[in-house]
Amino acid sequence: MAVGSGNWPEMHPVKGFRLGTTAAGIKKQDRKDLVIMNWDSGASVAGVFTLNRFCAAPVHLARRRIHCSPEYFVINTGNANAGTGDQGMLDATEVCLALAEHANVQEDQVLPFSTGVIGEPLPVDKIVAGLPAAISYLSEDGWHRAGEGILTTDTRPKGASRQFAVDGKKYTVTGISKGSGMIKPNMATMLAFMATDVAVDQAVLQKLLSNAVNLSFNRITVDGDTSTNDCCMLVATGKAGNEPLTHSEGLLYQALKQAVEEVATALAQAIVRDGEGATKFLTIQVEQANSVADALEVAYTIAHSPLVKTAVFAFDPNWGRILAAVGRAEISELKIDKVAIWLNDVCIVEGGSVARSYTEAEGERVMNQEEILIRVQLGAGHITETLWTTDLSHEYVRINAEYRT
C-alpha cells in the first residue's frame, strides 16, 4: 500500500482557467479518462517536455504548438499514442481538429496530451465522441474531476494549491499531476498541469517553469525509467489584473516563483508517495559535494540501486549496500575517509567505515519508519542536492507485470 494521504488539499480556482472531465470509455466504461482545459486569449503558456527520443505524437504536437497562442489542452488516459508512427501523428491531429471545431478556435491552438499503454492505436472515435461532454463540464472548479481524469496506475489523485498576496492583492497557483511508475528525471515520467492568474510574459513564464521543474519533477525517481509522454505545463491567465511581469525580478515575481516551486514540489513528491507498490518515502540528500553533477550522481546511484531499495522495503538496515552505491557513483573524485552516511538521525558510516556509535537496533528503528532520510556527506565541497524516491516491493513487480492484462 502506498504511503501518504489520499485526501485532496484545498484547491483554489484560478480565475480564467477552466477544466472539464468525462468518461469516454477509452479502456474502461464509466472511468474518467478525458480532460479538457481552457482559458481566454491573451494568456501565456509554458511547457517542459520529455527528452525521451521516442517521445509520443502528442508531445511532438504540443512542443510545436506552444508558441501558437494555445487556448485548449486535451488530455486522454488509457493510451499513450507513443510508438505509433505516422498514424499516431494523424490521430493526435484529428483529435485536436475535432476540439478546435467544437470550440471555434484554430487547430494549432489545441495542445494534445496522452498517457497510458505504449504502442497501441489511439481510439480517436471514442475521444472525439467524448469531447462535447467534457466541454459541457468546463468550470473553474473542475480541478478535482480533472485530477481524477488524468490518472493511470495511480492509486490517488494529486493536487496542490497556493495563494499569496503582494501589495494587498491576492494571487493563486493551482496544479494537478499524475504518475506513479516509469518515473525518472529528464522531465520525470508524469503529466502535470498548473495555472496561475498572474499576468506573465511568456519568456519569463518559461524560465520560471523550467527552474521549478529542475527543483521538483527533475528530482524524483521511482524506477529509473524515463517515459515517452512526460509534460509539465503552466498557464498564466493574467486575470489577476497586475501589470504583466516582463522581467525575472521584483516582489511579485519572487512570490510567484516561490508559489510555483512549492506547488511543483508538492505534486512531484505526491508522485513518489504514490509510487507503484511503494511502502516507503525516501529522501536522498548528498552534502559537501564538489559539484551539482557529483551530488546528483551519488544521489541517483543510491536511489536506483535495487539492493538499497529492496533492503528498505524489507526493513533491513544493510548499510553496506548504501556504501557500495556511493563507491560506484561516477564522480570526479571520492575520498572514502571523508565519507559519512546517516539514516535519519543515526550515523551509520564515518571515516569511510561503520560508525563506532552505530547499532543494528538503531538502524532497524529507522528502517521501520515510513519516511526515511539517507544523508551522505562527501567532504569534498559545499554543494548540496536532494531528491526523492521509494522502496521496491513485490507489488511493484505485480503491477507492472500485469499492466497490459
List the domains of the chain with CATH numbers: 17-273 (3.60.70.12), 281-401 (3.10.20.340)
Q: Are 40 and 140 in contact (CB under 8 A)?
A: no
Instruction: Count how many residues are written for the chain.
Output: 405
Instruction: State the residue for C-alpha cell 551530488.
Output: 295
Q: How far is 370 from 207, CA to CA, in rounded Å?
A: 35
Residue ranges for the chain with pLDDT beneath 50: 1-6, 187-189
**Among 189, 221, 265, 390, the one annotated catalytic:** 189
Q: How far apart are CA 211 and CA 19, in angstroms?
A: 26
What's the pLDDT score for residue 399? Answer: 63
Between helices 319-328 and 306-313, what is the axis angle to 10°?
160
Q: Is residue 226 annotated as a catalytic residue, yes or no?
A: no
Q: Residue holding cell 503529466?
A: 191
Judging by DSSP bridges, how do beta strands 281-289 and 371-377 pair with one another? parallel
Per-residue confidence (pLDDT) for residue 204, from 0 to 100: 98
What pLDDT does residue 394 have?
73
Q: How far apart (Å, rounded) are the C-alpha atoms in residues 76 and 15? A: 24
Nearest alpha carbon to residue 400 among 224, 161, 212: 224
pLDDT at position 154 is: 80
Task: Give me the pLDDT at residue 5, please.
Answer: 40
Round to whole Å and give the CA distance between 23 and 309.
Answer: 37
Task: For residue 231, give the C-alpha cell.
Answer: 509534460
Environment class of 196 (CB within 10 Å of its CB; exposed 0-12, middle 13-18, buried 19+)? buried
pLDDT digits over 192-250, tens only?
A: 999 999 999 999 999 999 999 999 998 888 766 555 567 899 999 999 999 999 999 99
CA dihedral (348, 351, 352, 356) in degrees, to 10, reads: -40
Give the pLDDT confidence of 88-99 residue by residue, as tens digits: 999 999 999 999
pLDDT of residue 183: 54
